[in-house]
Amino acid sequence: YKRITTQSLIEMKANAEKISMLTAYDFTMAGMVDAAGCDVILVGDSASNVMAGHETTLPITLDQMIYHASSVVRAVKRALVVVDLPFGSYQSDPKEALRSSIRIMKESGGHAVKLEGGSEIKDSIKKILHAGIPVMGHLGLTPQSIYKFGTYTVRAKEEAEAEKLLEDVKLLERLGCFAIVLEKIPAALAEKAAKSVNVPIIGIGAGGGVDGQVLVIHDMLGMNNEFSPRFLRRYLNLYEQMTGAIGNYVADVKSSDFPNASEQY
């Protein structure tokens, strides 16, 4: 395999080739995402929700992110592996942000880090980039700020927030971020943002006018039934298929159908 690099993504945007990105948090899933040809694998702090069952992304720790990321890295031959800096591991000051990023790079073998925010964290982004660590930005609905927002609804519908987002996108490009995630904002605003910079814009709930798309793998495989935002396309109903299969196993054990004569020694 020819490995995907941060440079490959910038070239893909220049060539108008869309970028595919999915999350993964473990070895087995990451191996499948990589084998299927997904360009970027995000070890998202959404692990806090889908792996650990927390209501928000805030509780997951840096150690836990490193555990997930190192499992993913061991499976991946081609994709670029980006790791979320979790809440509390970078907001205090640029030195803490750098220290946390270095731990991710050394202990997990990931290829880049992702942080939520714009101008508020520009000194941290600079510091991380100066150490040679690639940074992916994340603007719009930034789930680590859920207690500030109060809801998970669409962001930047108002003029002022939209203006700040466009400025932050340009700032992140100027600082040297290699890509930016825009989450749950109006499609027209996301398209305008994507057209205003050379750095690739990866959308989630941000429409088709951007340079790539990202989804949480458990959501796109239909592993949970409760989460159904408009932006989510389900490619399987794994919840139904898996609970069905597990139910069949339980029934076969109960009825002594499993194991049969050819399934024993």
Active-site amino acid positions: 183
- The nearer residue to ligand KIV, 23 or 101, going by C-beta atoms, is 23
Which residues of the shown chain bind Na ion in the complex (CB under 5 A)?
A: 44-45, 84
Query: What per-residue string of b and e applies to 236-261 under the rule 16 or more CB within 10 Å gives b?
Result: eebbeeeeeeeeeeeeeeeeeeeeee
Q: Is 195 annotated as a binding residue?
A: no
Residue 82: strand pairing partners: 42, 112
Q: Is 26 annotated as a binding residue?
A: no
Q: Which does 181 bind (CB under 5 to 8 A by kind): Na ion, ligand KIV, none?
A: ligand KIV
Q: Which does 214 bind (CB under 5 to 8 A by kind): Na ion, ligand KIV, none?
A: ligand KIV
Q: Which does 216 bind (CB under 5 to 8 A by kind): Na ion, ligand KIV, none?
A: ligand KIV
Residue 242 to residues 54, 100, 223, 226, 257: CA-CA distances in angstroms? 22, 37, 8, 16, 19
- The nearer residue to Na ion, 39 or 45, going by C-beta atoms, is 45
**Nearest-approach distance from CB 23 to ligand KIV, in angstroms:** 5
The alpha helices in the chain, defined as continuous H runs, are: 6-14, 27-35, 47-50, 62-73, 94-108, 122-130, 146-149, 159-175, 187-195, 217-220, 238-254
**Nearest-approach distance from CB 44 to Na ion, in angstroms:** 4
Q: Is 116 annotated as a binding residue?
A: yes
**Nearest-approach distance from CB 42 to ligand KIV, in angstroms:** 6
Which residues of the shown chain bind ligand KIV in the complex (CB under 6 A)?
A: 23, 42, 44-46, 84, 181, 183, 204, 214, 216
Q: Is 226 annotated as a binding residue?
A: no
- What's the CA gap between 103 and 92, in Å, rounded? 16
- The nearer residue to ligand KIV, 89 or 253, going by C-beta atoms, is 89
DSSP 137-184: EEEES-GGGHHHH-S-SPP--SHHHHHHHHHHHHHHHHHT-SEEEEES
**Nearest-approach distance from CB 48 to Na ion, in angstroms:** 9
- The nearer residue to ligand KIV, 115 or 175, going by C-beta atoms, is 115
The binding site for Mg(2+) consists of: 45, 84, 116
